[in-house]
Structure 1
Amino acid sequence: MAEHRPPPSVLLAGGGTAGHVNPLLAVADELLRRHPNARLTVLGTAEGLESRLVPEHGLPLAVVPRVPLPRRPTLDWFRLPVRLRDAVRAAGAAIDESGAQVVVGFGGYVATPAYLAARRRRLPVVIHEQNARAGLANRLGARWARSVAVTFPGTSLRGAQVTGLPLRAPIARLIEQRSVDREGTRAAAATELGLDAALPTLLVSGGSLGAVSVNTAVAGAAADLLASGIQVLHLTGAGKADAVRTALVDVPGAERYHVREYLTEMQLALAVADVVIGRSGAGTVCEQAALGIPAVYVPLPIGNGEQRLNAAAVVAAGGGLLVEDTDLDPAWVRTHLPVLLVGDAAAETRERMGRAAASVGVRDAAARVARLVEAELP
């Protein structure tokens, strides 16, 4: 008589930002594709992005208290033991109730209690680190994790293996669509965005919050950009559009400079973009590289320097340019962007940069991480 095996059960822990939630959902999708009967539970907070995105994705969300790990001594140090104890207890309850056989962590506030609760139960832990410079939670969890997956070469975690970044479903679909009909995909996206598919297109995006320095530099060079005959799609970030629109007053060709605060369907912008200028968050770099889009990366000038590291491999391969935030001004934009967008030489340069970016881009990272999880299932 054939042995009846219960469906696999996996707890995925990650939240707070899109950088943690998007890879988590991509791996969840891949696990369900491989194991349609799998029981997946997501561990998150009530405040983070996951509180909306996970239920929208059709997955159950188990909530744990948010436990920030202070980087320097503050009053939060004295509150940490009690907060962490409560969070570990909640994470343990989620593991027990779901019957999880493996815990998969993506970093962030939620991951630490998940790792500690899993360790107490002697459950295998699989970690994915999004950024080139690992966060505190994953540095802790990697000490006893069975597998540690990283997005970028050179990430310093014990036992790290490079898998790349699991791509969001809309980006994975765009890659497939472009492989079948690149020009048709571009034309359809241009129509939806109100753009001209025949014009060279510069996409400006500073991330979900926008980037004032990027906005100011590109808008300040609008007259020269438009005089070259290109069109611009500028995603300014919430509350930052008016300053860009003001810079366009009386500029000839301003009807080809399209300003939006944000775009939910970012895959449409990437489908039509010939060159992108913006920040170098891990998700941004990995998506653009996987799509083979030439880019100008402007690392965030604050934080731990991870954005510079995120872009390093693509820039080294010749798939992008890196410019410091302090060096980016309208004069830099006038000098460096039109030559990437206008003329036969520009097209050849973009083709070369696109191939270079794609050479370091990873398209099957979700499958790679899913295989690590499968290896730990009983």
Structure 2
Amino acid sequence: MDAGRRGGGQVLSRHIVLTGGGTAGHIEPMLATAAALQRLEPGIGITCVGSAGGLETTLVPERGYDLEVVAAVPLPRKPSLDLVALPMRLRRARSQAKAILKRVDAAAVVGFGGYAALPSYLAARSLKVPIVVHEANATPGIANKVGARWAAVIAQATPASALPGGEVTGMPIRASIAALDRAALRSEARAHFGLRESDPTLLVYGGSQGAQRINEAILAAADRLHNAGIAVLHGFGRKNQVDAPAYSSGPRYVAWPYIDRMDLAYAAADFVLCRSGMGTVAEVSAVGLPAMYVPLPHGNGEQRRNAEPIVAAGGGLIVDNAALTGDLIADELPPILTDPTRLAAMAAGARAGGHAEAADVLARRVLEVAR
């Protein structure tokens, strides 16, 4: 039975409402925190609040949590007709959120950003329910900026976040990743992907949609990596097509459009070539994998700031998107991947710079402020 429901006529002693949605960057830390709350306080009530039509309407029920929805309230960044309609939409969504908080007798509201977060913060403030805000990005969204004004706890994934008064707790990630024993799974993982046990292995992926620049560069480097004795596990993205090399002997080059067992991919790997979204950085560092991070070339430089603490701890490298070439990969990575001492030192740096315990840390802070 879901932890957000009643059973046997017994009313659960306290109930936490978590709100976030729109993107996996909001939803995954929310669900990781929900699971941590259940581990720390078995029987606690959990309700998630999202917006109709958001990705959360699929992901939250799949993980076994109750989901309530409020009207989506996009916050226009420029003058428009949407701005005129904002007060009415916000009042409606706030009333919906307030009804949810009353119905479950919420002891605290934990927000991760997204369209449903601001109405939930406003409802919590009106009912004097404690608020905890978690900010995953270096540049906070509008909803979290507002919620932070009243929050009992402001948690952030990175020291670069601009929310005043925030404490760095890290990015909550799935327990299956946070507690991953790579060494114990190594043989199973390499067999799963058809990799040889003895070959140093490079994991390459650019997120679920892949990354064209990373795909092009790793393919250009493939022959030189093979000749250096390095295997490649390449998640190239469902929307892409790649002409992966096939070698008759020696280290394999294994290409998958989508890797749905990231735990096994991490266990199979010795090093990662990837983007540096906060979720990726959090997982890769938590499992102790050194990485070459390639921040997205657009935006406000947020992805670079995500990776900088890990690099400063000795757990990785940052390469600009425009500088990533096959020659750079073939020159820089073989000396690392073929040096067990250097690999071990970088792995230790990655783990030291990461926050594998982030979900439990945040959950404890939530329980401290809950009525």
TM-score by length of 2: 0.92
Deviation per residue, 1:102-137 (Å, 9 max, x gap): 100011222111111111112110011112222221
Cα distance in structure 2, aligned partners of 1:299 and 1:306: 8
Cα distance in structure 2, aligned partners of 1:362 and 1:19: 16
Superposition CA RMSD, Å: 1.9
Cα distance in structure 1, aligned partners of 2:293 and 2:151: 33
Contact 2:209 2:239 (C-alpha < 8 Å) held by counterparts: no
Cα distance in structure 2, aligned partners of 1:54 and 1:80: 27
The reply to whether residue 314 of structure 1 matches residue 310 of structure 2 is yes
Could you tell me which of 87, 92, 98 is aligned with 1:86? 92
Deviation per residue, 1:237-277 (Å, 9 max, x gap): 1221x2x22xx357776981111111121111011111101
* Deviation for aligned residue 1:48: 2.3
Deviation per residue, 1:80-107 (Å, 9 max, x gap): 2232222222211211221112100011
Amino acid at match of 2:266: L
Q: Secondary structure at the match of 2:79?
A: coil
Q: Secondary structure at the match of 2:369?
A: coil
Q: What is the total number of aligned residue pairs between the two structures? A: 362
Moved more, 229-238 or 81-90: 81-90
Cα distance in structure 1, aligned partners of 2:85 and 2:139: 27
* Structure 2: runs of 5 or more not aligned: 1-9
Q: Secondary structure at the match of 1:310?
A: helix
Percent identity for Structure 1 against Structure 2: 46
Cα distance in structure 1, aligned partners of 2:326 and 2:99: 55
Give the match for residue 170 of structure 2.
164
Q: Secondary structure at the match of 1:116?
A: helix
* Deviation for aligned residue 1:322: 0.2
Cα distance in structure 2, aligned partners of 1:186 and 1:6: 41
Deviation per residue, 1:4-45 (Å, 9 max, x gap): 995111110011122111111111111112222211100012
Give the match for residue 201 of structure 1.
201
* Structure 1: runs of 5 or more not aligned: none
Amino acid at match of 2:107: Q
Contact 2:274 2:293 (C-alpha < 8 Å) held by counterparts: yes
Contact 1:226 1:252 (C-alpha < 8 Å) held by counterparts: no
Contact 2:276 2:304 (C-alpha < 8 Å) held by counterparts: yes
1:133-152 equivalences under 5 Å are 133-152=139-158
Could you tell me which of 23, 34, 40 is aligned with 1:28? 34
Amino acid at match of 1:371: R
Q: Secondary structure at the match of 1:375?
A: helix
The reply to whether residue 276 of structure 1 matches residue 282 of structure 2 is no
Contact 1:111 1:138 (C-alpha < 8 Å) held by counterparts: yes
Could you tell me which of 85, 92, 101 is aligned with 1:95? 101
Q: Secondary structure at the match of 1:101?
A: strand
Q: Secondary structure at the match of 1:292?
A: coil
Q: Secondary structure at the match of 2:29?
A: helix
Contact 2:210 2:239 (C-alpha < 8 Å) held by counterparts: no
* Deviation for aligned residue 1:50: 1.5
Give the match for residue 6 of structure 2.
none
